[in-house]
A = this chain, B = another copy of it.
Amino acid sequence: MPTDQTTTAPMTPQQYGVGARFTLSVYSSDYVSIILGALGEADATGLTVETNDISTFLGGAEADVLRYLRDVVAAAARTGAHISVSILLSRGCPGELECELPAGVGALAAEPISLRATGIRARAHWSLYPLLDGAAGGDRARDHMTPIYDVIERAKQDGLYSGSDHYATRLDGDLAAVLETAANAWIEVGRTVQHVATHLTVSLNSPTPIPA
């Protein structure tokens, strides 16, 4: 990192490590054509997209990453197949084996995102991880659970909260609203904590009855 940051341009989302990994699982023997069709319908403008045998990486600004995820998952769900998507959103720790940014870099804030509704109901288990460092942080990052309780409260106000299970909060609503809730919590906590990850398991078209 340059030592005189006042003379350098602000970091881009990619330099700050903003992005996602996701695995789109299709419970159908036609999964290859459903996945390829869904990927073909999503707009990758502004994104780095890299797929391997385990998951797909998306690098880019928050709004672009989430728009892509919404479009891929919605397209797969519209086939009627039962879908489960495992999503990881990460910020503040770019690089591969090691973080290329040291701890204590000023958080790169982002605006909340807004996603057009899909008309598709999604249910998700959601976990949020503010990755504090013992020494850094200051008053606003004193413990890792307070910001989690804050964003769960927000999800309740927004009508997306559907209860809490062990290790995860349940969200229920339009696919776009579910993704928006998780992403905006991740963005919000990222205003004060450098490295923040959030995981979602999103279920669509499940034949399993939804608990009362």
What is the interface of chain A, defined by CB distance below 8 A to chain B?
17, 19, 21, 23, 25-32, 50-55, 57, 59, 82, 84, 86, 88, 90, 93-99, 103, 123-125, 127, 129-138, 141-145, 149, 152, 163-170, 195, 197, 199, 201, 203, 206-211
Contacts and interface: CB of A to CB of B under 8 A. Distances in A.
Contacts of A86: 23, 84, 86, 201
B135 A142 contact: yes
A139 to B, nearest CB: 9
How many copies of this kind of chain does the complex include? Answer: 2
Contacts of A59: 166
Given A96-B164, A166-B19, A103 B208 contact: no
Contacts of A97: 152, 164, 169
A129 B144 CA distance: 12
Nearest to A35: B27
Given A23-B203, A98-B145, 7 more contacts: A25-B25, A25-B84, A29-B30, A53-B206, A54-B125, A96-B166, A132-B132
A129 B132 contact: no
Nearest to A171: B54
A21 B103 contact: no
B21 A166 contact: yes
Contact of A54 (B50, B123, B127, B131): B123
